């Protein structure tokens, strides 16, 4: 039986298309033992969180059995929001977050993206969480990774020297870590 991986895209007008090469790389590296689902999430302009946490929940409902979650950028931060605010309906084997922004500040547009101060204590227990960030990422500050490291001391933190925001569209390193789960 194949193991399920749900990949949540990054944000922006073409986030889905921009992340497609990363997803293809992950699929190739994982091989036939894994089924990687990559749904296109749509922005709901009527909600401050773009409706993504709700859509993530719906996509999880569509998967039978255990699931490994992978998310990039805005998708990673909204996956954390979902996991810390809703009891996940599936057994989550692990969570892998790539270039995750930590939203801070009082700007109105950030209100739906920000995590509760105690979000880490509300995440599913006993689920390993891995965060990855490239030091040369010019879209999301590596300082955000340090913030997550402080708030989530149980998470495995990985700083990659190169790869930019898109990890050079090469997720072989991630596939190796997923295969260890």
CATH classification of the domain holding 34: 3.40.50.1820
Residue pLDDT, tens place only, 135-168: 999 999 999 999 999 999 999 999 999 999 999 9
| Confidence at 87, pLDDT banded by 50, 70, 90 | confident
Distance CA 159, CA 60 (A): 28
Do residues 47 and 113 lie in contact, with contact meaning Cβ atoms separated by under 8 Å? no
Q: Give residue 47's pLDDT band: very low, low, confident or very high (50, 70, 90).
A: confident
d(CA 59, CA 65): 13
Domain count along the chain: 1
| Residue whose entry in the numeric block shows the structure tokens 């101060």 | 117
Residue 61: give the domain boundaries.
Answer: 3-179
What is the Cα 163 distance to its own chain's centre? 17
H or E element, residue 93: strand 92-98
Q: What mean pLDDT is reported for the chain?
A: 92
For residues 166 and 140, what is the distance between their CA atoms, to the nearest angstrom?
11
Q: Looking at residue 12, what is its pLDDT? A: 74
The whole-model pTM stands at 0.94
Least confident span in 25-34, 42-51, 79-88, 133-142? 42-51
């Amino acid at each position: 039986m194949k193991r399920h991986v749900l990949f949540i895209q990054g944000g922006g007008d073409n986030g889905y298309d921009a992340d497609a090469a990363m997803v293809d790389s992950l699929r190739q590296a994982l091989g036939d033992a894994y089924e990687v689902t990559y749904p296109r999430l749509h922005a709901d302009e009527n909600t401050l969180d773009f409706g993504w946490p709700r859509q993530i929940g719906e996509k999880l409902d569509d998967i039978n059995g255990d699931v490994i979650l992978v998310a990039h950028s805005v998708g990673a931060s909204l996956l954390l929001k979902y996991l810390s605010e809703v009891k996940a309906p599936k057994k989550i084997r692990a969570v892998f977050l790539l270039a995750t922004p930590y939203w801070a500040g009082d700007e109105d547009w950030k209100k739906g993206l920000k995590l509760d101060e105690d979000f880490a204590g509300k995440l599913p227990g006993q689920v390993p969480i891995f965060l990855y960030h490239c030091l040369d990422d010019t879209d999301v500050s590596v300082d955000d990774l340090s913030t997550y490291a402080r708030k989530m001391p149980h998470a495995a933190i990985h700083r990659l020297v190169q790869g930019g925001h898109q990890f050079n569209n090469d997720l072989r390193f991630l596939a190796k870590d997923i295969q260890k789960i």
